[in-house]
Amino acid sequence: MDMHKMTPWNWLSQESSRERPLPQRQPRHPLLRWEREFDNWFEQMLGDMAWTTPAPHAEPSIPFRPNLDILERDDHYLITAELPGVEKQDLHITLNHDALTIAGQKQEAQSSERDGYHYSERRFGQFRRILNLPVDADGEAMEAVFHNGVLSLTIPRHEHHGQGSKTIEIH
């Protein structure tokens, strides 16, 4: 029996707890829940005439944080990151020993008062994800491809882990 398969690798052990995303749930504060119920009651009673507060559950303080998929194959690992609205030149990938860092910045779209925005849930700003590579990952031979807002990192597997720092070129 392969004991390696019994204990999954903790890819995200170097990320601090404050960098982890907050779950998108209903508001916990009783007043926010009451406000939503009150708005729903008015909508039911008055139909289109009711006024509501825009998205009381939105949390604008949560920064942009790309979602990751990590896939294990027999001969390689595949990591994909969703980076909508991020430009290739604003993206940086570095490897320091076994720590793979995906960092960058999502630029805020310029808008003026005449654009008519009332509300926006899009996230902007700097981001950083740190992944711990397993012992059998060959970070030195990693390939990065960025296409249509999705970053794909292919990391071959081998017996020995490389040591040192390297900047990964994005294709």
Note whether 96 and 78 are same-domain residues. yes
**Structural domain includes residue 85:** yes
Note whether 30 and 103 are same-domain residues. no
Number of structural domains, the chain?
2
| 14 burial via Cβ count (<10 Å: 0-12, 13-18, 19+) | middle
**Structural domain includes residue 160:** yes
Note whether 165 and 97 are same-domain residues. yes
Nearest CA to 139 out of 166, 114, 121, 113 is that of 166
Determine the average pLDDT of the residues in 139-163: 86
C-alpha distances out from residue 168 to 4, 93, 158, Å: 28, 5, 18
Mean pLDDT of the chain: 76
Q: Is 94 helix (H, G, I), strand (E, B) or coil?
A: strand
Band of pLDDT at residue 161, cut at 50, 70 and 90? very low
Note whether 96 and 167 are same-domain residues. yes
Determine the average pLDDT of the residues in 71-89: 93
Domain ranges, residue 67: 62-108+123-171
Stated length of the chain: 171
pLDDT tens digits, residue range 99-113? 999 999 987 766 656
Greater pLDDT, 144 or 107: 144
Instruction: Report strand pairing: 125-132 vs 91-96.
Output: unpaired
**Structural domain includes residue 114:** no
Helices (H), 13-53: 30-46
What pLDDT was estimated at residue 79?
96
Inform me whether the pLDDT recorded for 25 exceeds 80. Answer: no
Determine the average pLDDT of the residues in 141-161: 89
Determine the average pLDDT of the residues in 26-46: 69
Note whether 73 and 96 are same-domain residues. yes
Spatial separation of the C-alpha atoms in residues 92 and 105, rounded to whole Å: 9
Inform me whether the pLDDT recorded for 26 exceeds 80. Answer: no
Note whether 137 and 82 are same-domain residues. yes
Note whether 129 and 150 are same-domain residues. yes
pTM of the model: 0.61
Instruction: Report strand pairing: 150-156 vs 76-82.
Output: antiparallel
Note whether 53 and 73 are same-domain residues. no
Residues 124 and 113 sit within 8 Å (Cβ to Cβ): no
Note whether 53 and 75 are same-domain residues. no
Selection from 2-6, 26-30, 45-49, 120-124 with the highest mean pLDDT:
120-124
Inform me whether the pLDDT recorded for 133 exceeds 60. Answer: yes
Q: What is the CATH number of the domain that holds 139?
A: 2.60.40.790
Band of pLDDT at residue 168, cut at 50, 70 and 90? confident
Note whether 142 and 171 are same-domain residues. yes
Note whether 97 and 168 are same-domain residues. yes
